[in-house]
Amino acid sequence: MVLKKFLYDWRDLTPAGRVLILNGFTFNLGFYMLLPYLANHLENTIGLSGWYVGLIIGLRVLSQQGMFLVGGTLGDYLGYKRLILLGCLVRVFGFALLGVGQDIVVLVIGAILSGLAGALFTPSSQAYLAYEYPTQEHRDRVFALQSFSTVTGMLLGPIIGLLLVAYSFAWIGLISAGLFFILFWVQKHFLPDIPEQSGNHKQSGSFFQHWLSMLNQPIFMTFVLAASVYQVLFHQLYIVIPHEVTSRHFDVSVITWTFMTTSIMGVVLQLPVSHWISKNLDTGKAMGMGLAIMGSAFLCLSLPIADHSAIPFVVCAMVFSLGSMMVFPLIGSYLPNFAGENELGRYYGLYSCVGGIFAFIGNVTTGWLLSSSSIDHIWIWTGMMFMGGVAGITLYWVVSTEFKTATV
């Protein structure tokens, strides 16, 4: 059934759309082959201290999240294809250095290049996809397909990485780098140039003028702030689940099965859920319900089931995945409604940048709350439910307001 829906949607894609969907799969395949095993490699194979491990991983995150706005704006100025190609090449060098590097300086450079690469190609890839499908209906379907390919890469990447790490982490780094080089070649030859961005592509105004223009749009910024709660809730899963598994003295395999559940559900149900939404819900309701469901999922960790049972973790993952499948593709497909045709990169970049800041603050706050022995965790889960609910209502209001404005 899933394959049938995938092939049905795949046949309707333009040549550029097919290459960009392949991007989503390969980006995440290569990324998740390497990143889940990087910290262990740095600490146990190379012998770095925890501080250096945190520094290297933190620099990768900072160089990506902090540069999304710059990367997206460069895409508008220089062309989306150029930035996608440049990002792929930069990640080739970044992952190769992380794979073979033994010196702290080499590893730091590899981490910064790896993060910078994501900031270069991610906003431009999303902007190109949105440009290719200007109508909301088509974008909803294509971004759902991209979400499916992304989750498939997230599922297969760690499995392939696990097989390779038994030989050497260097193999993971070099093969991941090789994947991005192949992707560079494929896109260079098969991703068409956007006519308006070919040749001497110029935009008037400075970076800061364009950024201030976005910040001065109250409805858009409200959308960005509410949609960024998705990033907060998504990244909480990677702090909450390991902490709760450890504090309840469960086997570490529970963590693996929990995240496998989220990935498998994404692969199996993303396209059916998106098709159901397109027939039964409008965009605002689907996004609002999705965020509310994601926030409420954490309450499942306090289900009144025996302490030795891993069922609450699996149920949490299933509910969380359902909410994520509802909201994630729609955020990406709806955002272009705020942007002009040649402004898509910077709008995606700003959203990703704000989402990264929100995720960082959320991780630090949740980590502090979980470490406190005086706070019952049910209050933390309740807070996440409240946050998801408020953000969901806000997104519904923004989309409804935009729709009414557009129809007046």
Q: Which residue among 175, 197, 219 closes a domain?
A: 197
For residue 78, give the CATH number of its domain: 1.20.1250.20
pLDDT at 276: 93
Residue whose C-alpha is closest to residue 244's, from 143, 316, 151: 316
Question: Do both 210 and 296 map to the same domain?
Answer: yes
1: in domain: no
How far from 306 is each of 33, 218, 248, 334, CA to CA, in Å?
A: 35, 48, 11, 43
Q: How many residues does the chain have?
A: 408
pLDDT at 1: 58
Question: Do both 305 and 210 map to the same domain?
Answer: yes
- For residue 43, what are the contacts with CB-CB under 8 A and spacing of at least 6? 49, 50, 53
Question: Do both 255 and 118 map to the same domain?
Answer: no
Tell me the backbone φ, ψ of residue 167, rounded to 5 degrees: -90, -60
Residue range(s) defining the domain that contains residue 268:
204-408
Identify the sign of the CA torsion 212, 218, 220, 225.
positive
6: in domain: no
246: in domain: yes
Question: Do both 189 and 306 map to the same domain?
Answer: no
Tally the C-alpha atoms within 13 A of residue 406's C-alpha that lie toward its C-beta.
9
- For residue 114, what are the contacts with CB-CB under 8 A and spacing of at least 6? 60, 63, 64, 91, 94, 95, 98
2: in domain: no
128: in domain: yes
3: in domain: no
Question: Do both 173 and 285 map to the same domain?
Answer: no
Give, to the nearest 10 degrees, the angle between helix 253-280 and helix 218-247.
Answer: 150
Q: Which residue among 197, 217, 243 closes a domain?
A: 197
Question: Do both 213 and 192 map to the same domain?
Answer: no
Tell me the backbone φ, ψ of residue 198, rounded to 5 degrees: -85, 155
pLDDT at 204: 63
Question: Do both 112 and 156 map to the same domain?
Answer: yes
Question: Do both 150 and 210 map to the same domain?
Answer: no
pLDDT at 112: 93
Question: Do both 215 and 300 map to the same domain?
Answer: yes
pLDDT at 408: 37
User: Assign residue 223 a region: left if phi > 0, alpha if psi is -120 to 50, beta otherwise?
Assistant: alpha
pLDDT per position as a tens digit, 372-396: 778 888 999 999 999 999 999 999 9
Question: Do both 37 and 147 map to the same domain?
Answer: yes
5: in domain: no
State how far Cα 107 lies from the chain centre.
24
Yes or no: say if 240 and 381 are a contact pair by the CB < 8 Å rule.
no
pLDDT per position as a tens digit, 99-146: 999 999 999 999 999 999 999 999 999 999 999 998 888 898 899 899
In SS3 terms, the chain reads as CHHHHHHHHHHCCCHHHHHHHHHHHHHHHHHHHHHHHHHHHHHHHCCCCHHHHHHHHHHHHHHHHCCHHHHHHHHHHHCHHHHHHHHHHHHHHHHHHHHHCCCHHHHHHHHHHHHHHHHHHHHHHHHHHHHHCCCHHHHHHHHHHHHHHHHHHHHHHHHHHHHHHCCCHHHHHHHHHHHHHHHHHHHHHHCCCCHHHCCCCCCCCCHHHHHHHHHCCHHHHHHHHHHHHHHHHHHHHHHHHHHHHHHCCCCCHHHHHHHHHHHHHHHHHHHHHHHHHHHHCCHHHHHHHHHHHHHHHHHHHHCCCCCCCCHHHHHHHHHHHHHHHHHHHHHHHHHHHHCCCCCHHHHHHHHHHHHHHHHHHHHHHHHHHHHCCCCCHHHHHHHHHHHHHHHHHHHHHHHHHHHHHHHC
Question: Do both 155 and 210 map to the same domain?
Answer: no
Number of domains in the chain: 2
Residue by residue, pLDDT tens for the chain (408 residues) are: 566 667 667 777 888 999 999 999 999 999 989 988 888 888 888 988 777 887 888 788 888 888 999 999 999 989 999 999 999 999 999 999 999 999 999 999 999 999 999 999 999 999 999 999 988 888 988 998 999 999 899 889 888 988 888 889 999 999 999 999 999 999 999 999 887 776 555 566 677 787 888 989 999 999 999 999 999 999 888 788 888 887 887 876 787 788 888 888 988 899 899 989 999 998 999 999 999 999 999 999 988 775 667 888 999 999 999 999 999 999 999 999 998 878 899 999 999 999 888 888 888 888 888 887 788 889 999 999 999 999 999 999 999 876 555 443
Q: Which residue among 148, 168, 197 closes a domain?
A: 197
pLDDT at 308: 63
4: in domain: no
Yes or no: say if 382 and 299 are a contact pair by the CB < 8 Å rule.
yes
User: Assign residue 162 a region: left if phi > 0, alpha if psi is -120 to 50, beta otherwise?
Assistant: alpha
Question: Do both 46 and 168 map to the same domain?
Answer: yes
